[in-house]
């Protein structure tokens, strides 16, 4: 008597459920998600060390284990749907630590690293605005705010590596997009990105406080609480009536926004919009 083969149960719904739960998790607390990815990757490597024969494990260079941990952490970060810039950070974090401890780099290396970090986080001690990047969800929400049917003049003050500018220039090519960035390395990367994407937006290396905000229909800021009172004063005196000031996450003390859009599903990541 032939027995009919039962089809194997599909794992797809379970994988979908894990992916969407982890996506929500990653959106809510990216830092915790990063720690979880690093921790879980370390546990995986310890597990692999424990199950492979002792001689083989002892013969492996610490950097090989570190690279394995980096690959696992990057894969977990990807699985947790973290922003793309987290993936190389996950891949290089532990190998970087092991490299620094194992190869005892010369002091010049530390000096060079210091210089690179200075040019990325240029002027943070004064501006109190570090570099972190807008999410794709934020860029899409900004896109939805742009008035339709005319060529919008848009400015990203402190444009970083151009995440929002590149998105808008692709999604709404009829607009005029301008970014201003004070830190040399992000400015250079932003300009390189513009060149590689057909100069769809313009970038200046400058302090946004030197610009006239009255030339723009929409001004986008992702700065810090410390920068908001000064920005509000400048925007109130320079921006045209009807123009939009959009702040990612940070409020202006005492100025109620006309609109607050939740962009992270957690109430903490939001776009605040003021009509001037």
Measured from the CB atom, the residue of 93 and 220 that comes closer to ligand SAM is: 220
Measured from the CB atom, the residue of 207 and 238 that comes closer to ligand SAM is: 207
DSSP collapsed to 3 states, the chain: CCCCCCCCCCCHHHHHHHHHHHHHHHHHCHHHHHHHHHHHHHHHHHHHHHHCCHHHHHHCCHHHHHHHHHHHHHHHHHHCCCCCCHHHHHHHHHHHHHHHHHHCCCHHHHHHHHHHHHHHCCCHHHHCCCCCCCCHHHHHHHHHHCCCCCCCEEEEECCCCCHHHHHHHHHCCCCEEEEEECCHHHHHHHHHHHHHCCCCCEEEECCHHHCCHHHCCEEEECCCHHHHHHHHHHHHHHCCCCCEEEEECCCECCECCCEEEECCCCCCCEEEEEEC
With contacts defined by CB under 6 A, how many residues of the chain interact with ligand SAM?
22
Q: Which stretch binds ligand SAM (CB under 6 A): 88-96, 204-212, 255-263, 267-275?
A: 204-212
CA distance 131 to 228: 16
Measured from the CB atom, the residue of 72 and 203 that comes closer to ligand SAM is: 203
CB of residue 108 to ligand SAM, shortest distance in Å: 26
Q: Is residue 159 near ligand SAM by the rule CB under 6 A?
A: yes
Contacts with ligand SAM, 105-144, as mask; x by CB under 6 A = ----------------------x-x-xxxx----------
The conformational region for residue 163 under phi > 0 = left, psi -120 to 50 = alpha, else beta, is alpha
Q: Which stretch binds ligand SAM (CB under 6 A): 60-68, 90-98, 157-165, 231-239?
A: 157-165
User: Is the Cβ–Cβ distance between 250 and 223 less than 8 Å?
Assistant: yes
**Binders in 17-76 for ligand SAM, by CB under 6 A:** none
Burial 213-223 (b: 16+ CB within 10 A, else e): beebbbbbbbb
**Binders in 83-112 for ligand SAM, by CB under 6 A:** none
CB of residue 211 to ligand SAM, shortest distance in Å: 9
Q: Is residue 182 near ligand SAM by the rule CB under 6 A?
A: yes
Measured from the CB atom, the residue of 38 and 163 that comes closer to ligand SAM is: 163
Residue from 93, 201, 222, 232 in contact with ligand SAM (CB under 6 A): 222
Measured from the CB atom, the residue of 65 and 232 that comes closer to ligand SAM is: 232
Residue from 25, 153, 202, 207 in contact with ligand SAM (CB under 6 A): 207
Contacts with ligand SAM, 161-180, as mask; x by CB under 6 A = --xx---------------x
Measured from the CB atom, the residue of 45 and 219 that comes closer to ligand SAM is: 219
Q: Where along the sequence are the contacts to ligand SAM (CB under 6 A)?
A: 127, 129, 131-134, 156, 158-160, 163-164, 180-183, 186, 207-209, 222-223
């Amino acid at each position: 008597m032939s027995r009919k083969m039962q089809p194997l149960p599909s794992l797809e719904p379970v994988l979908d459920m894990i992916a969407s739960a982890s996506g929500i998790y990653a959106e809510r607390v990216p830092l915790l998600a990063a720690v979880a990815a690093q921790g879980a990757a370390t546990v995986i490597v310890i597990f692999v060390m424990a199950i492979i024969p002792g001689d083989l494990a002892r013969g492996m260079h610490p950097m090989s284990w570190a690279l394995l941990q980096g690959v696992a952490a990057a894969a977990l970060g990807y699985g947790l749907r973290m922003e793309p810039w987290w993936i190389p950070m996950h891949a290089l974090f532990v190998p970087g630590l092991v490299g620094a401890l194992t190869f005892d780099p010369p002091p010049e290396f530390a000096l060079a690293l210091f210089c690179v970090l200075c040019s990325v986080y240029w002027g943070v001690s004064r501006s109190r605005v570090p570099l972190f990047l807008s999410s794709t969800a934020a860029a899409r929400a900004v896109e939805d705010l742009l008035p339709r049917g005319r060529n919008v003049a848009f400015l990203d003050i402190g444009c970083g590596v151009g995440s929002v500018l590149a998105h808008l220039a692709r999604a709404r090519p009829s607009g005029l997009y301008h970014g201003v960035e004070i830190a040399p390395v992000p400015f250079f990367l932003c300009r390189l990105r513009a060149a590689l994407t057909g100069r769809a937006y313009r970038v200046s290396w400058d302090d946004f406080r030197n610009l006239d905000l009255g030339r723009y229909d929409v001004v986008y800021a992702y700065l810090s609480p410390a920068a908001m009172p000064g920005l509000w004063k400048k925007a109130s005196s320079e921006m045209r009536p009807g123009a939009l000031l959009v702040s990612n996450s940070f409020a202006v003390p005492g100025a109620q926004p006309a609109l607050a859009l939740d962009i992270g599903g957690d109430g903490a990541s939001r776009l605040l919009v003021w009509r001037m």
